[in-house]
Chain A
Amino acid sequence: MSNKIHVSTKVNGDAVEFLCDPRETLLDVLRDRLNLTGAKEGCGTGDCGACSVTVDGRLICSCLMLGAEAEGKEIGTIEGVAEGGELHPLQRKFIEHAALQCGVCTPGILVAAKNLLEKNPDPTEEQVRYWLAGNLCRCTGYDKIIRAVLDAAEEMRGAA
């Protein structure tokens, strides 16, 4: 209990500091210490992707990284996907396409899909499916999710 680690990091562009137990995951820290509950714990073993965040631009499962490892990094979470109060095209398209039912996987999928479109602005359906294969959704059968991502990509290409 006493050997907490002091960590300085950046989350969604803002500098933050926290103390954490060496065993706490980045997900635990985001949720329990930083009040950022958008990332969800669906499995704790890196299989469901509900806790997806980016660390220095790389997509990871935050349940598989320790909070202490965030030192000096830049973390991106669902709470930072909408910028300046304006929804990201993916967020708008998810609502428009009814790409969520219960919505608990949605934050992780949006973070993952945004990361994909940053790397590949013009993915095929198959590329979207394989990129999102680490993000489980039990409600939708993925159909509307894939359509929403492809539609958002098209809109973003048009705007670029």
Chain B
Amino acid sequence: MALDEVKEIVESGENYDTDKEFKYVGTRPDRPDGLDKVTGRAKYGADHYVANMLHAAVLRAPHAHARIVSIDTSKAEAADGVKAVVIGTDLPEGLTGGDLHLQENTLARDKVYYDGHAVAAVAATSALAAKDAVKLIEVEYELLPHVIDVDAAMAEGAPVIREGEQGPTVPEGMHPNVVNYIEFGHGDLDAGFDAADLVMENTYKTEATHQGYIEPHACVGQLGDDGKGEMWVCTQGQWFIRKMCAAVLGLEASNLRVTPSEIGGGFGGKTTIFSEAISLALSRKAGGRPVKLVMTRSEVLRATGPTASTSMDVKIGMKNDGTMTAGKVVFRMQGGAWPDMAPTGMALNCAFASYDLPAVYHEGYDVLANRPKAAAYRAPGSPMAAFAVESLVDEMTRKLGLDPIEVRIKNGAKEGTKSSYGPTYKKIGLLECLEAAKAHPNLAEKLGPNQGRGVAAGFWFNHGGETSVSMSLGNDGTVTVSAGTPDIGGSRASVALMVAETLGIPYDHVRVNIVETGALGFNEPSHGSRATFATGKAAVEACNQAIGEMCRRAAKRWGIDEDAVEWKDGAVHPAGPNAGEFPPMTIKKIGQTMGRSGGPISGHHETTAGGVGESFGAHVVDVEVDPETGKTTILRYLVVQDAGRAIHPSYVEGQYQGGAAQGIGWALNEEYVYDDMGRLQNPIFLDYRVPVASDLPMIDTVIIEVPNPGHPYGVRGVGETGITPPLPAIANAIADATGRRLRHLPMTPAKVLKAIKNG
């Protein structure tokens, strides 16, 4: 392509021609970090050891809600090996809003808000010495009444968790625990319901679940009296860690250098801070010695980001032919003891996103409860919303004797649909997914006794976000890319493929490094399914910039006009016969001679990435329900989802399968269980049981590719949509198998058995 074309693409940034043949994009090479990860060499959060390092342990409250009367740390301070102790009042005062909330969650100051809330921490010369020392800290609590359930927290007489947090939109007279209220919609709702032959409404509940990443949070923090610090940490976003730790501790962000480790899963839960600032506070108190802080699994489950629990009302109108005429939802969600942590707004936006409806109305309540501060979890809000809406759609479809896929095709959102949450969709692939699901061989499988089939659609917006990427040319013609989004599931591979494609050089001539906060401008985390989309897009633009420079160098060397050259297959060529006869100047040659031709060659691009493309999907699940025990077995599972374009199809399939597995756990088994004192009863993996290999069948996948014109290779982002349909799809399959409709997750054997027995 000629230089001016490159420039045009760099500047326009949108409406790329995605309808091309590719050499590297869409292939399945080995991931660049594969060797490190199969040999145990890859360094995760807890794998970092530095000279003179101390170890931290955290004391956590055993109460759901209590005032801290006093904390006596003297015995701990005097214990062998202890070098520092910190409590909430050691942190700077005067923070407000979200920063204050992060600080309160880091270390409680006046009150503890949930079982597991951190109240003090110790740094000592060994992990055992630190653990022993925290037991010597004496805390006097004044117990306060607590509330766990979202509906109970809104009810009259519920304990007030916080005063003065109620937002201005909350209707008058509501309980102070209702801190935010959202309402929106379009179309004539009454007319819509009037036009329906069948109007149904029901209430659904989901319980809090945890992201369940296998790697607990871990960091090594070092902070001197001069306010300069370093951190090694497992995180989805090193700049978020920097920003949040700096806010909580009153530091200047640029004085903190944060290096991300390899990350052992995150799913949204590692986009914020929990104990990271504690390691820095301890380090500063211990004279700047580095402090390693590694959470236990119990700490992870008790004190880090579960998702919201919900209570949801849905009302839908449908004609006898399946045409949907109106939809209304009222969602109540708690996200712990801090405002704005429940993904209420996003859940509402997702509720009817898969449908083209003339009239929709949404209402949402953000509610406080004595639970851990919720964090993002894969498509925040969408799985719960899908459970409620897709369950009711299914129930109505069955009642009218219609096919669940046909009803979704009939009402499905497509290009030009005004979405339920406002914007009009550009190119999207929901109908293509539904058609592919319909044609899949799994649907031809005959079902036996006690077996059932369930279908559901799912949606996620996807996200662009703040992105900064650099690439540089080596003197052998190979390329290094500096990216700011931690590689959580193969994004080094996908970025390398796009860079190889753009430059026309072999995949293994590209090395993608995930870099620390000093090496690039601000990057948002690997969240919102954005890493391959946004980092990839910026990497392509950075390459285009370097291509421009390489073209200029060659033109100068050849003594011809800059516009008379073009970049093709990893080399600069004369653009046409009039440009003169020159042998192609390869990237290797350019790299070898760049010191003499003007100096190092690199490309850089930063943007708040636009051009995001939504990803829709459809799941079909076959289950068998044991009528004697109520246990549900997944027999077959099919995920169909629009990737836009699959850069590395194996890792796209992996996202589909992983999302489905998490959704299956949420649907059937996972939940936060509390006793009547508000204490979490299942904070270990034995009792908070995530799906294991013997729980699941192979998970079939179909990748639909409706390219996103807002990305140079058509990428949409694939990480999140896959967790949304399993919740309703499995409920629908259980209804098909048993004739019983379960409206409260998880659908444990006990609940299913009860439904079978009670009718």
Q: Which A residues are within 8 Å of any B CB, using their own CB?
A: 1, 21, 23-24, 28, 31-32, 35-45, 47-48, 50, 77-79, 81-82, 87, 91, 94-98, 100-107, 110, 125-126, 128-130, 132-147
CB contact under 8 A between A142 and B661, given known A38-B40, A42-B215, A102-B263: yes
Contact of A136 among B80, B216, B488, B690 (CB under 8 A): B690
Q: Least Cβ distance of A100 to chain B in Å?
A: 6
CB contact under 8 A between A141 and B39, given known A45-B297, A45-B684, A48-B685: no
- Complex contact B34–A95 (CB within 8 A): yes
Tell me the bound Cα distance from A39 to B27 in angstroms.
32
The 7 closest A-B pairs by CB, nearest first: A38-B40, A104-B264, A141-B661, A103-B37, A98-B650, A141-B657, A47-B685
- Complex contact B214–A40 (CB within 8 A): yes
Asked if B46 lies at the interface with its beta carbon under 8 angstroms from chain A, I say yes
Task: Give the total of B residues in contact with A, Cβ under 8 Å.
Answer: 65
Tell me the bound Cα distance from A23 to B685 in angstroms.
22
Residues of A near B70 (CB, < 8 A) are none
Asked if B660 lies at the interface with its beta carbon under 8 angstroms from chain A, I say yes
- From 262 to 311 in chain B, residues with beta carbon under 8 angstroms from any chain A beta carbon are 262-267, 294, 296-297
CB contact under 8 A between A81 and B39, given known A140-B661, A142-B661: yes
Interface centre among B44, B215, B262, B692 (most CB of A within 10 A): B692
A-B CB pair tally, cutoff 8 Å: 194
Tell me the bound Cα distance from A39 to B698 in angstroms.
27
Asked if B35 lies at the interface with its beta carbon under 8 angstroms from chain A, I say yes
Asked if B43 lies at the interface with its beta carbon under 8 angstroms from chain A, I say yes
Residues of B near A21 (CB, < 8 A) are 126, 128
6 contacts between A and B (CB under 8 A): A45-B686, A48-B297, A48-B685, A132-B693, A136-B690, A141-B660
Residues of B near A91 (CB, < 8 A) are 38-39
Contact of B699 among A41, A128, A141 (CB under 8 A): A141
Residues of B near A138 (CB, < 8 A) are 211-214, 265, 267, 658, 661-662, 690
Q: Least Cβ distance of A23 to chain B in Å?
A: 6
- Complex contact B43–A144 (CB within 8 A): no
- A-B contact sample (15 more), CB < 8 A, given A101-B265, A125-B698: A24-B128, A37-B40, A47-B684, A87-B35, A91-B38, A91-B39, A95-B35, A98-B654, A102-B488, A138-B658, A140-B654, A141-B696, A142-B693, A146-B698, A147-B698
Tell me the bound Cα distance from A64 to B673 in angstroms.
26
- Complex contact B40–A77 (CB within 8 A): yes
Q: Which B residues are within 8 Å of any A CB, using their own CB?
A: 28, 30-31, 33-35, 37-44, 46-47, 49, 80-81, 126-129, 211-216, 262-267, 294, 296-297, 488-490, 648, 650-651, 653-655, 657-662, 684-686, 690-696, 698-699
Please give me the residue from chain A that is nearest to B33 by CB atom: A103
- Complex contact A101–B490 (CB within 8 A): yes
Residues of A near B662 (CB, < 8 A) are 138
- A interface, by DSSP: helix, strand, loop or mixed? loop
CB contact under 8 A between A40 and B661, given known A24-B128, A133-B692, A136-B690: no
Tell me the bound Cα distance from A106 to B128 in angstroms.
27
Tell me the bound Cα distance from A46 to B307 in angstroms.
25
Residues of A near B693 (CB, < 8 A) are 128-130, 132-133, 135, 137, 142, 145-146
Tell me the bound Cα distance from A148 to B216 in angstroms.
26
Residues of A near B40 (CB, < 8 A) are 36-39, 77-79, 81, 107
Tell me the bound Cα distance from A87 to B39 in angstroms.
8
Tell me the bound Cα distance from A42 to B659 in angstroms.
20
Tell me the bound Cα distance from A104 to B213 in angstroms.
9
Residues of A near B266 (CB, < 8 A) are 102
- Complex contact B489–A139 (CB within 8 A): yes
CB contact under 8 A between A37 and B214, given known A100-B34, A132-B693: no
Contact of B658 among A41, A78, A136, A140 (CB under 8 A): A140
Tell me the bound Cα distance from A87 to B36 in angstroms.
11
Q: Least Cβ distance of B298 to chain A in Å?
A: 8
Q: Least Cβ distance of A148 to chain B in Å?
A: 10
Residues of A near B31 (CB, < 8 A) are 95, 98
Tell me the bound Cα distance from A147 to B44 in angstroms.
26
- Complex contact A45–B685 (CB within 8 A): yes
Please give me the residue from chain A that is nearest to B55 by CB atom: A32
Residues of B near A128 (CB, < 8 A) are 693
Tell me the bound Cα distance from A102 to B296 in angstroms.
19
- Complex contact A110–B38 (CB within 8 A): yes
Please give me the residue from chain A that is nearest to B42 by CB atom: A103
- Complex contact B37–A106 (CB within 8 A): yes
Please give me the residue from chain B that is nearest to A100 by CB atom: B37
Interface centre among A1, A28, A141, A144 (most CB of B within 10 A): A141
- Complex contact B657–A102 (CB within 8 A): no
Contact of B490 among A23, A31, A98 (CB under 8 A): A98
Residues of B near A129 (CB, < 8 A) are 693-694, 696
Tell me the bound Cα distance from A76 to B38 in angstroms.
15
Tell me the bound Cα distance from A96 to B35 in angstroms.
11
Residues of B near A87 (CB, < 8 A) are 35, 38-39
Tell me the bound Cα distance from A81 to B267 in angstroms.
29
Residues of B near A139 (CB, < 8 A) are 265, 489, 654, 658
Residues of B near A35 (CB, < 8 A) are 49
Contact of A41 among B38, B46, B128 (CB under 8 A): B46
- Complex contact A40–B264 (CB within 8 A): yes
Residues of A near B49 (CB, < 8 A) are 32, 35
Residues of B near A102 (CB, < 8 A) are 213-215, 262-266, 488-489
CB contact under 8 A between A143 and B651, given known A40-B215, A98-B28: no
Q: Least Cβ distance of A87 to chain B in Å?
A: 7
- Complex contact B658–A101 (CB within 8 A): yes
Residues of B near A135 (CB, < 8 A) are 692-693
Q: Least Cβ distance of B453 to chain A in Å?
A: 20
- Complex contact A136–B46 (CB within 8 A): no
Q: Least Cβ distance of B694 to chain A in Å?
A: 4
Tell me the bound Cα distance from A24 to B131 in angstroms.
12
- Complex contact B46–A40 (CB within 8 A): yes
Interface centre among A45, A78, A101, A110 (most CB of B within 10 A): A101
Residues of B near A94 (CB, < 8 A) are 34, 38
